[in-house]
Structure 1
C-alpha cells in the first residue's frame, strides 16, 4: 500500500533490517532501537542559534481559557438537551460522535496545553484550570496526565519512562489487522491504563482535588440532569479516543510510517528513523494545532497559536521532515498496512528523566524556552 500520507524526502532504512537487528539485541522484539539522544533538543538548539527571536514566542496564550470555557459550556448544554434521549438512539450516538467526541478531544488537548503552563502564568492556576477542563470528560485524569506527559517530553522513547510507547505485550498480541483495529477502537483505554502498568505516580493533593471535583460534577449531572446526560459525556470521551478523525493524532505523532528504500544502496546507507511526525491539515483548527508535533516537541513552551509562526520562521528545519497529510488516512493505513503497527516506534534504553514534582515547574519552563542552551542568552 503506498504511503502517500508521509513525504518521502527523508529515506530511512528498511523495517526488515531494523527488525532483524532488534531481534538480535532486544529479546525478539521488533521496535526501532536508537542509541542516540532524541532529536528535539538538538534541533531546538540549532533553531535558537539561527533564529533567537523564536524564544519570544514562549509563554501563556490568553485565548486558551476562553475556548475551554466555550467547549465546557457546549458539552454541558448538549448533555442537558439529550437528558431524555435514549443513549442507544441514533440521535444520541450521532451527537456523541460528531459533537461530543470532537469537543472532548478538544478538551483533551486543552489539558495538554495547560500541562505545559500555557493558559496562565501561575502553575497553580494551570493545575486548577486543567481540572475544570476535565469536567465534561467524565473521568478524572488531568492531574495524572501532566507528569506522565512531561516525562514523555523529557524521556522520548525511553523504555520504562515514556508511557506513550506500546509495550512488547501489546505489540505482540495486536500485530494483525484485527488487533490493530481493536487498538484503534479502544486506544483511549490503552492510553488511560498503560501508564499505571509502567510506573505509578504518588497521590498528591492535586490528584485528590481532581478526583473529588470530577466525582462531584458527575454526581450533580446525575442528580439534576440525569443518567443519560452523564452517559453522553462518557460516550463522547470514548468516541474521542476511538475511530474518530481527530483521534488520528494519537497514532500520527510518533508511529513510524516508513517508505521502503528505493534501492539497495539506500538500504545499505540508512539515515536515522524519524521519531515525531507533524500534520498540517485543517483538523488542527479543532485540536490546538497538536498536528504541529515536531514544532511542539522542539519548543513545548510555545503555545498553540504561535506554533505556525515558529514553523514559518524555522521553515528550513521542518520542510524536509516527513509529515502526514490526513489523520483519517493515518488510521486506515495503520490498520491495513502490514508494514505499520505497534512495533513501529523508536525506543532507547537510556536518557531522559521522570517529571513528578511541583518544584520542577521553573526548571521545566526554563528548559523548554531554551535557557541554558550554549550561545543563548
Structure 2
C-alpha cells in the first residue's frame, strides 16, 4: 500500500498542519445580523465593527451546496501557462536586446506584451501562493520562484505571508498590508496624488509592508533572492543588460496605468457609498489574469483554483448574482482618479483582533498546543473554513 500524501492545495495556502480534508466539514451560519459600522467621514476610513464577510458566506455556501468541496484542489494547467508566458517574455526581451528603451516600438511592446505578461505572472504567483499549481508545498514554492524570473526583482516569497494575512485578517489596521496608511491617504487626496498612486501602485505595495509589518526572513526568502540574482546575471551576460531593463519595465507597466491593473483598486475599495469590502469583475480581462476578477469567490474559497471559480459562481447564483460587481477594470482606474467621492480613504478598516483563543483549536485533529501555534497554523482555521463558531463533523 502506497503512502498517502496530503494535497495542500485544499488548504488555500496554509501548510503547517496535516489535518482532515476540508470536504469533511459541515458549517452552520451564525444567524446573527452584522453590526453596522460608523458612517464614513470624508477624511477617515470606514471603521467596521463586523467580522470580514467571507467567513460567514463560506459557511452558508458549504451548508447549501456541500458539493462545492469538489471544486477544491490544484490546477495542473497553471504550470504550463506560466512556462509559456516565461518563454514569451524571454523571447520578446531577446528581440529587443539591441533596441533603445526610449523608442516607440520598445515602449509599445513593453507595455502591451511585457506589461500583460508580467501581470499574468504576478497573478500566477498569487495562485501558487495558495498551493494551487502543484499538490505539494515545496513544489509550489519552487515554482513561484521560477515564475518570478521575468519580473526582474524577487518578491514571490515575501508576498506569501503578507497575502495570507490579507485573507485571514481582511481589513485589520496594521495587519492587512493591502490597506493604505493614513499618511498615504492624506498625501494623495487630489487628482494628481491619485494619478501618482495608480501609476506607481507596485512601489506602494512593495514599500508599505516594510513600514507596517517586517517579516522574519527564511531560507525560502534567501533562495528567492539568490535565484533571482543568478537569473538576472545570466540574462545580462548572455543577452545583454537591455533584457533585464525590459523585464523591469514590463513589471512597472504591469502595475501602472494598465487595463489589467484596475483589479488592484477594484477589489477592496468602497464605491457608491456602500459598505461592501470586496468586489468581483466578470469581464473578458479575466482570461489574462487567472480569473482574479472573481474576487469574492476567491476570498470565500481560497482553495478553489482559477479555472473553477466560474463554476463556484454558477453553483451559488442566489448569493453571487446579488452582490454588486465591477463592469470594467480600466474604468475603475479612471473613476478612482477623477471621482471626488473616491480616494485612498475609501477602504474599510477594523481594529486588530485579540490573539486567537485556544478553544478554537480543540476540534482539530493532530493540532499543536497553543505554544506551538504559528501564523501558518492559524491560516488553516480560515482557509479550511473552521473559523470561530463552526461545528466540525
Confirm or deny: 8 A CA contact 2:97 2:239 kept in the other structure.
yes
Confirm or deny: 8 A CA contact 2:54 2:300 kept in the other structure.
yes
Confirm or deny: 8 A CA contact 2:111 2:250 kept in the other structure.
yes
Change (3 A) 1:208 1:353: farther
- 1:374 matched to 2:374: no
* Matched residue, 1:224: 238
Q: CA RMSD in A?
A: 2.1
Q: 1:351 aligns with which of 350, 353, 360?
A: 353
Question: Cα distance, 1:183 vs. partner?
Answer: 0.4
Give the paired residue count. 341
* Matched residue, 1:281: 283
Give unpaired runs (5+ residues) of structure 2.
Answer: 1-36, 357-371
Cα distance in 1 for residues equivalent to 2:200 and 2:382: 35
* Matched residue, 2:40: 18
Cα distance per residue 1:195-244 (max 9 Å; x no partner): 11111001110000000000000001111101111101100000000000
* Matched residue, 2:115: 101
Cα distance in 1 for residues equivalent to 2:289 and 2:324: 20
TM-score (ref. length: structure 1): 0.87
* Residues 1-377 of structure 1 mapped to structure 2, 5 A cutoff: 17-19=39-41, 29-259=43-273, 273-351=275-353, 364=379, 367-370=382-385, 374-375=390-391, 377=393
Cα distance in 1 for residues equivalent to 2:342 and 2:355: 29
Question: Cα distance, 1:367 vs. partner?
Answer: 4.0
Confirm or deny: 8 A CA contact 2:268 2:347 kept in the other structure.
yes
Cα distance in 1 for residues equivalent to 2:306 and 2:323: 20
Cα distance per residue 1:303-350 (max 9 Å; x no partner): 000100000001111111111000010000000000001000000003
Give unpaired runs (5+ residues) of structure 1.
Answer: 1-14, 21-28, 260-271
Question: Cα distance, 1:18 vs. partner?
Answer: 1.8
Cα distance in 1 for residues equivalent to 2:354 and 2:69: 23
Confirm or deny: 8 A CA contact 1:158 1:352 kept in the other structure.
no
Confirm or deny: 8 A CA contact 1:48 1:370 kept in the other structure.
no
Cα distance in 2 for residues equivalent to 1:343 and 1:358: 34
SS in 2 for 1:291: coil
